[in-house]
Amino acid sequence: MTKVVKIKRGLNIPLKGVAAEVLNTVAQSSNFSIVPDDFSGVKPKPVVKEGEKVKVGTVLFIDKNRPEIKFVSPVSGVLTAINRGDRRKIMSFAIQADAANDSESFSKQDVAKMSVDEVKQVLLDSGLWPFVKQRPYDIVANPADSPRSIYVSGFDSAPLAPDYDFVFKGQEAELQVGFDVLKKLCADVNLGISVKSEVLSAIQNVNTIVFDGPHPAGNVGVQINNTNPINKGEKVWVVALQDVLVIGKLFLNGVLDFTRTIALVGSEVKNPSYYKVVYGSSIENIVKGNVTENASLRYISGNPLTGIKIDANGALSAYASQITVIPEGDDNYEMLGWVAPGFNKFSASRLFFSWLCGKKQYVIDARVRGGKRAIINSNEYDKVFPMDIYPEYLIKAIIAKDIEKMENLGIYEVAPEDFALCEFVCTSKMDLQQIVREGLDYLRSEVE
C-alpha cells in the first residue's frame, strides 16, 4: 500500500493567473544566456572562447574544483560573449543560436546492462550531471560520492505552479527510463506525488510516497524531512522531474534535448498557458504581446516565492519550470494603507477582511510592504514550516555563524527554498532565503 504523508503546516497563496491547459508554440529565441550562478557550489572555468561555434552538448565551462563536471550548450550557434562582473567573476555565457540545431554525437544506452560508473560517465559527458543536486548544502552533487538515497518531487505546490500531469502526459516511457537511470545510481529512489497525481502513479521501481497538504508539500526538502531526515555525514541527491525526463530522453533515444514545458503565469499575463522552451532562452518571444501594457512589471524566472528577477528579455534559469509576471507595485497609491478594509488583499494572518469573502484569487505585487527590523520570536514561521526544525532559532544561529548550533538545529536538511514561505509571512521582512544560502556556503567552507 502506498504511504500517505499528511502535511498540516503550510500556506497556499491563491494568486491570479493560473495557466490554462493549453500548449502554445512560439518561435525559438536566438539569444541564450547560461548563468553559472544558477549552479550552486560551482567555480566556472571557461573551455570555449568568444566567437567559437558551439553545438548542443558542446562544453562551455567546467567546475574548477571538479573538472569532470561539465556544463554544456543547450543550443547550437556562436558563443558571442563571456560576460564578467567584479573581480572578473563570470556572470553569463551569451550564445547567438542558429536554426541548424546541430548536436554533439550521443547514442542510445541500455541502462540495465550498464555499471554505475558507466551511467555516471554518460551523465558527465552529456552535461546533465549539474542537474543532480545534493543535500546538504543544496549544491551540484559530487559524482565521486555514493548517496544514501535519491529524491524526486513529482508535483509542485508553489503559487501558480505548472500542473505536472498536463506537462508530462504522454512522456511516461522517457520518465521511466530516467528513473531507471537514477535507480542504477542508488538503490533507494523515492518519488513524492500528490494525492491528485495520475501520470506518475504508474512509475515503477521507485518508492512512491503520497503527500497531502498545502505548500510547501511539493518541496523535496519537506518530503525528505517527513520520511527519512538527513543526519550529519549523510548525502541525499535530488533531481527535478523535468530533468529526469531529459535524462530519460538521452538514454532512450540518444538525443540531448534541453527543451522543457514551462508555464507562463501571473496576474499580468493576458493568456496564461504553457510553452515549450529550451533552458537559457530569452523570454522575450514568450511574453511579447501577452502581458499588461503600460504597466511596471516584475518578471520572474521561477515561482513568485523563490524565483529570480529578470528583465523582459532575460533568460529562463537552469532549474525554472515557470515564468511569472506580477505588478512591480512602485506606482500604487494607498490613502489608508494597512488600515483599509482590504477586501481584495491577501493576508496570511487575517489582517484584512478578505478572509470573509470566501475563496478567491488575488493580485499581489512585488513590494515588501514594511520596513526591515530585528527578528521577532512570534512563532509565525512555525505555522508555515512543516519540518521538524525550529526555523527562528536556526536563522539566528546562521546569522551568528555558530556552527555547532546550526548543526544541532538541522541546517543539513534545509535549502533556501524551504524558507520561502517563512520569508513571505515574516513581519521583520528579513531575507531569509539569502541568509540560509550564505549559512550553507559558510558551513561548507568551514566543515569540508
Cell of residue 415, nine digits: 535549502
Q: Give dist(CA 89, CA 99) in Å, integer.
A: 31
Every domain of the chain and the residues it spans:
31-97, 107-253, 382-447
Segment 366-424, tens digit of pLDDT? 988 777 788 878 889 999 999 999 999 999 999 999 999 999 999 999 999 999 999 99
- DSSP per residue, 69-117: -EEE-SS-EEEEEEEE-GGG-EEEEEEEE-SS--B-------GGG--HH
Q: Give the distance from CA 159 to its chain's centroid.
A: 13
* pLDDT band at residue 3 using 50, 70 and 90 as cut-offs: confident
Listed in sequence order, the residues at least 6 apart from 296 whose beta carbon sits closer than 8 Å to its beta carbon are: 327, 328, 329, 330, 331
pLDDT tier at 346, thresholds 50, 70, 90: confident
Domain 31-97 fold? OB fold (Dihydrolipoamide Acetyltransferase, E2P) (2.40.50)
Q: Is 251 left (phi over 0), alpha (psi -120 to 50) or beta?
A: alpha
Q: How far apart are CA 354 and CA 97, in angstroms?
A: 48
Tell me the CATH class for 107-253.
alpha beta
Residue identified by cell 493560473 is 18
pLDDT value at residue 376:
79
What pLDDT sits at residue 343? 61
Cell for 19?
495557466
pTM of the model: 0.94
Residue 250, pLDDT score: 98
**284 phi, psi to nearest 5 deg:** -55, -45
> Could you give the strand order of the β-sheet that contains 31-34, starting from the edge strand earlier in sequence?
31-34, 90-97, 77-84, 53-54
64/36 Cα distance (integer angstroms):
12
Secondary structure of residue 291 in the 3-state scheme:
strand
Q: Is residue 355 very low, low, confident or very high in pLDDT (cuts 50, 70, 90)?
A: low
Do 107-253 and 31-97 have the same topology in CATH? no
User: Which residue from 107, 28, 53 is spatially nearest to 281, judged by alpha carbons?
Assistant: 28
Report the pLDDT value the prediction gives residue 333, as an integer from 0 to 100: 59
Backbone angles phi, psi at 167, to 5 degrees: -65, -40
Q: What is the reported pLDDT for 87?
A: 93
pLDDT at 332 over 70: no
**Among 200, 40, 252, 225, CA closest to 132:** 40
Which DSSP letter does residue 327 get? E
pLDDT in tens, 251-302: 999 999 999 999 999 999 999 999 999 999 999 999 999 999 987 999 999 9
CA distance 399 to 397: 5
Average pLDDT, integer, range 352-365: 71
pLDDT digits (tens, 9 = 90+) for 230-239: 999 999 999 9
**pLDDT category of residue 350 using cuts at 50, 70 and 90:** low
* C-alpha span between 34 and 58 (Å, rounded): 13
Contact between residue 442 and residue 436 where contact means Cβ atoms under 8 Å apart: no
* Mean pLDDT confidence for 97-110: 95
Q: What is the pLDDT of residues 147-163, one digit of tens each?
A: 999 999 999 999 999 99
- Asked if pLDDT for residue 48 goes beyond 60, the answer is yes
Nearest to 263 by CA among 325, 346, 193, 329: 325
Q: Which three cell numbers stand for residue 266?
A: 501571473
CA 215/CA 13 separation, integer angstroms: 8
Query: Are 151 and 138 within 8 A, CB to CB?
Result: no
Name the one residue in this structure whose C-alpha cell is 505588478: 327
Location of C-alpha cell 503546516: 9
Q: What mean pLDDT, rounded, does the chain reach?
A: 93
pLDDT confidence of residue 336: 60
- Confidence at residue 339, expressed as pLDDT on a 0 to 100 scale: 59
Q: Is residue 353 pLDDT above 70, yes or no?
A: no
Whose cell is 500528490? That residue is 194
Please say whether the beta carbons of 135 and 387 come within 8 A. no
